[in-house]
Amino acid sequence: MIYTSQHNTLNPVLNSSNYAYGSIDLYIEDTQEYNLSRIGLTLVISLLLGSIFWRIGQLRKNSADLHSVIGAMHLAVLYVCFCNHTTVQPVIASERTVFYRENSAGMYTVLPHALSQVMVEMPYVLFQATYFSLIIYSMMSFQWTAMKFLFFFIISFLSFLYFTYFGMLAMALSPNMQAAAILSSSFFILFTLLSGFIIPKPIRDYVLKHFGYKEDFNGIMIAVLLGFVILFALSYAYCVRSLNFQKR
């Protein structure tokens, strides 16, 4: 059914409904482009790094080989993390403008909006981490055991997720994308510096001695990454609820 503009003006309920549907259409269009670009970039990065570090997982003869293997894994995950963090911010920035309007009109409250943005990222990041792990793990020729692949997948998934959430948090803490980029760069430097690869921790044999990696730390490592996911997700929801950068 087609309504004239005069009819819409005289019917505020219909006018609000049309506005809401228009906002939903705009949101779907924006997120489609965002998800396609994220999936495409991840695929390109996976194939590119898999080609550069082709079968590097088979090299374990000396310390230099081990450095190369660990560096390749570190670089592969970090590149996609940066990609997720960067691509999510324009979407959050554009959605925030629409959110201010719709929230002031009483269409929905702040917390459900923020939590829905947090939850909707999970299936996309899960799909992204799945094909990333399959490509990288097979092209770099790591050992095909169920436990090792599952651990690699979980690390990738949680890392992608918390970088995505931090991108959302940085945007929620900032009045514009330029300020968010400055905040993000400080975070990147700190996290890369303290990741355990650039600053090694000396312990017993070479892996323990040079990097401080212990098999007993696997559970703690997963718990820490999960903690970052929860921290950034809840912090984003709180900031969206508490901060308002709308200019009247």
Structure tokens at 91: 């979407």
What pLDDT is stored for residue 21 in this prediction?
42
What pLDDT is stored for residue 205 in this prediction?
64
- Is the Cβ–Cβ distance between 68 and 55 less than 8 Å? no
The structure's pTM equals: 0.75
Structure tokens at 134: 């399959």
75 burial type by CB count under 10 A (0-12 exposed, 13-18 middle, 19+ buried): middle
Look up residue 204 and give its amino acid.
R
Judged by DSSP in three states, 65 sits in: helix
Q: Rounded CA gap, 103 and 100, in Å?
A: 5
What pLDDT is stored for residue 209 in this prediction?
67
What pLDDT is stored for residue 242 in this prediction?
78
Domain boundaries, the chain: 26-242
Q: How many CB atoms lie within 10 A of CB 177?
A: 15
Tens digit of each residue's pLDDT, the chain (248 residues) = 333 333 343 443 334 344 344 444 444 555 777 888 888 889 998 999 888 888 888 877 777 777 788 888 888 888 899 889 888 888 888 888 777 777 777 677 777 778 888 888 899 999 999 999 999 999 888 888 899 899 999 999 999 999 999 998 988 888 888 888 888 888 787 777 766 666 565 655 666 766 667 767 778 888 888 988 999 888 888 888 777 776 65
Look up residue 220 and give its amino acid.
I
User: How is residue 107 annotated by DSSP?
Assistant: S
Which residues are CB-contacts of 120 (< 8 A; sequence separation ≥ 6)? none
Structure tokens at 204: 């017993």
What pLDDT is stored for residue 186 in this prediction?
80
Nearest Cα to 22, choosing from 93, 94, 89, 98? Answer: 98
Q: What is the DSSP string of 188-211?
A: HHHHHHTSSSSS----SSHIIIII
Phi, psi of 193, deg, nearest 5:
-65, -35
Q: Rounded CA gap, 19 and 41, in Å?
A: 33
- What is the length of the chain? 248
Structure tokens at 82: 């940066």
- Is the Cβ–Cβ distance between 23 and 102 less than 8 Å? yes
- Is the Cβ–Cβ distance between 84 and 164 less than 8 Å? yes
Structure tokens at 232: 């950034």
